[in-house]
């Protein structure tokens, strides 16, 4: 079918089923995607032939770069032609073989140029500028024999094939590493997954075990960074810094509605006392706060700076509650309507841990009723659809998130508590140390920062 497309018309969107192959007759098309360079297709060019037969999600967005005439061949039509014509079928297979060989040769040439001989190749997903800068700097200073393929796109089944030829994948909190993705990574030759974060609840550990893929994480990149940010949120909410900043931008210098309270003498409850909770306790002691804590495994090393109580006692006594527990089946939605009912009237809730620990619908109701005086959230359940990306021109379909963002007594940040130069350096060093151990022959629970649950 011949089609005339005006400049700017979208023929296919990345991620949507590719149902047609396009042949440019006149004009030009533009292919663009976050993980590849923009390609310009002129008259005679063909695109879409690899995906349209199976109707897989399109890898790129294709749009008319100018007024363009294209020939569109639908997948159903072409499949029927292949069935009816053995000659066409054979010719098409030969053509595909030729194209694949050409692409493989070109890809090998590029890899040889980019990756020095003997270096371990790392497919680095969801890469941000600060990630690449930190990892490249640490790799150079520490003389790690690694080379990076920085991929802007988050890891999922649509882009897992980009790990082909890499032994190591470096992933982050919002990457998808479910059973299907792990199988694809195994087929690509991946033997080690490095989580450049402390959490690993997004990784199918059983699938990794079945495919003999080791998994490591960064257990303590900088507890100071996260603890300091948690206290920052406490102070900002208590002293209404966010409201004052917005007012002054409009030259409104009134102080009405900006009354806070002294931190000195107030009770702060730490829900979890791991490394981050321990740091938070020390900081809060410096303010002169009374620090209480709840943990299923109390830490005797910090008994001098806090008092352990039950969860119910913590809820009832705390002016501020700060969450520092990992996300586990037992902690999902542990801060819910029942917990809010037990809290002090007007208490402030801080969460710099993991979003699903809090039931945000229940939180919204507690805020609206006045039971909770404020919330500082650096994490959010469902954050992977929004966090780390610019969504300022997008429709936000999460009603709870929209209402929380618009609440005057809520501060939401984009999972940035970890983001200091010190933490980034520590993350890179820990991750690359895991690679060094792996290349020395260690795997599984032999690795220092292994996620050992999968091997026991």
Beta strands in 151-220 (DSSP E): 168-171, 192-195, 214-216
Strand segments (E) across 65-201: 68-74, 120-124, 146-150, 168-171, 192-195
Per-residue pLDDT at 455: 37
Q: Could you give the CA distance from residue 352 to residue 271 in angstroms, rounded to a whole number?
A: 11
Q: For residue 228, what pLDDT is reported? A: 98
Q: Rounded mean pLDDT of 224-228?
A: 96
pTM of the shown model:
0.72
Paired sense of beta strands 320-323 and 347-351, if any: parallel
Amino acid 70: pLDDT: 80
In the annotation, is 383 catalytic? yes
> In the structure, what pLDDT confidence band is assigned to residue 29 with cuts at 50, 70 and 90?
confident
**What number is the average pLDDT over the span 132-154?**
93
- Integer Cα distance of 235 and 248 in angstroms: 18
User: What is residue 18's predicted lDDT score, i.e. its pLDDT?
Assistant: 73
Catalytic residue among 354, 360, 381, 437: 354
- Indicate the pLDDT class of residue 206, thresholds 50, 70 and 90: very high
**HSE on the CB side for 356, CA within 13 Å?**
13
Going by pLDDT thresholds of 50, 70 and 90, the confidence category of residue 293 is: very high
- Give the percent of the chain with pLDDT over 70: 87
Please, which pLDDT band fits residue 35 given cuts at 50, 70 and 90?
very low
CA 99 to chain centre: 34
Cα 421 to the chain's mean position, in Å? 19
Predicted local distance difference test score (pLDDT) of residue 441? 94
Q: What is the pLDDT of residue 92?
A: 61
Please report, to the nearest 10 degrees, the dihedral formed by the alpha carbons of residues 23, 25, 27, 30 taken in order: 0
Output b/e per residue, 177-188; b: 16+ Cβ within 10 A. beeebbbbbbeb
Q: Which residues pair with 335 in a beta bridge?
A: 358
Residue of 65, 360, 415, 437 marked active site: 415
Q: What does the mean pLDDT of the chain come to?
A: 88
Q: Poorest-confidence range of 39-48, 79-88, 93-102, 142-151?
A: 93-102
pLDDT the model gives residue 61: 84
227-267 pLDDT, tens digit each: 999 999 999 999 999 999 999 999 999 999 999 999 999 99
Our CA angle for 319, 324, 328, nearest 5°, is 130
> Where does the pLDDT of residue 389 fall: very low under 50, low under 70, confident under 90, or very high at 90 and above?
confident
User: Is a pLDDT exceeding 80 seen at residue 186?
Assistant: yes
In sequence order, the 6+-apart residues with CB closer than 8 A to the CB of 205 are 215, 451, 453, 454
Asked whether the predicted pLDDT for residue 377 surpasses 70, the reply is: yes
pLDDT at 357: 97
Given a cut of 50, whether residue 118 has pLDDT beyond it is yes
Average pLDDT of the segment spanning 23-45: 73
Highest mean pLDDT among 82-91, 115-124, 157-166, 398-407: 398-407
Tokens of 12: 């296919």
Lowest mean pLDDT among 24-33, 49-58, 185-194, 390-399: 49-58
Q: What is the predicted pLDDT for the residue at 67?
A: 85
Q: Which of 143, 161, 140 is nearest to 35 (CA)?
A: 161
Give the tens place of pLDDT for each residue, 314-366: 999 999 999 999 999 999 999 999 999 999 999 999 999 999 999 999 999 99
pLDDT at 143: 84
Q: CA–CA separation, 322 vs 325, rounded Å?
A: 10
Q: Which of 65, 381, 383, 437 is catalytic?
A: 383
Calculate mean pLDDT across residues 158-165: 91
């Amino acid at each position: 079918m011949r089609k005339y497309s005006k400049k700017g018309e979208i023929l296919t969107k990345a991620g949507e089923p590719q149902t047609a192959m396009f042949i440019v007759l006149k004009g030009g098309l533009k292919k663009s995607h976050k993980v590849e360079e923009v390609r310009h297709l002129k008259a005679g060019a063909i695109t879409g032939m690899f995906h349209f037969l199976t109707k897989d999600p399109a890898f790129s967005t294709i749009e008319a770069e100018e007024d363009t005439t294209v020939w569109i061949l639908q997948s159903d039509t072409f499949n029927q032609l292949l069935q009816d014509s053995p000659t066409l079928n054979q010719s098409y297979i030969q053509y595909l073989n030729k194209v694949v060989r050409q692409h493989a040769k070109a890809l090998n040439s590029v890899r040889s140029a980019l990756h020095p001989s003997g270096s371990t190749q790392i497919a680095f997903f969801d890469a941000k500028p600060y990630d690449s800068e930190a990892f490249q700097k640490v790799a150079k200073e520490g003389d790690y024999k690694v080379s990076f393929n920085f991929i802007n796109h988050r890891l999922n089944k649509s882009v897992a094939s980009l790990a082909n030829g890499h032994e190591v994948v470096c992933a982050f909190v919002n990457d998808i590493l479910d059973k299907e993705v792990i199988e694809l990574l195994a087929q690509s030759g991946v033997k080690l997954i490095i989580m450049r974060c402390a959490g690993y609840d997004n990784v199918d550990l059983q699938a990794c075990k079945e495919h003999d893929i080791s998994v490591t994480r960064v257990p303590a990149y900088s507890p100071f960074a996260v603890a300091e940010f948690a206290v920052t949120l406490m102070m900002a909410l208590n002293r209404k810094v966010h409201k004052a900043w917005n007012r002054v931008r409009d030259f409104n210098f009134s102080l009405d509605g900006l009354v806070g309270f002294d931190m000195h003498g107030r009770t702060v409850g730490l829900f979890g006392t791991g490394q981050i909770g321990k740091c938070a306790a020390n900081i809060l002691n410096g303010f002169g706060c009374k620090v209480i804590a709840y943990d299923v495994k109390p830490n005797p090393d910090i008994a001098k700076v806090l008092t352990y109580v039950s969860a119910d006692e913590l809820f009832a006594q705390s002016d501020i509650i700060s969450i520092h527990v990992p996300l586990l089946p037992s902690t999902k939605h542990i801060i819910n309507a029942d917990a809010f009912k037990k809290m002090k009237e007007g208490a402030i809730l801080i969460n710099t841990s993991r979003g699903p620990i809090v039931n945000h619908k229940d939180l919204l109701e507690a805020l609206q009723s006045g039971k909770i005086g404020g919330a500082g959230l650096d994490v959010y359940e469902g954050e992977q659809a929004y966090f780390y990306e610019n969504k300022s021109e997008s429709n936000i379909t999460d009603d709870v998130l929209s209402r929380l963002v618009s609440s005057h007594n809520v501060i939401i940040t984009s999972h940035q508590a970890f983001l200091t130069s010190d933490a980034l350096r520590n993350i890179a060093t820990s991750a690359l140390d895991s690679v060094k151990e792996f290349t020395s022959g260690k795997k599984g629970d032999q690795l220092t920062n292994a996620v050992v649950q999968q091997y026991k």
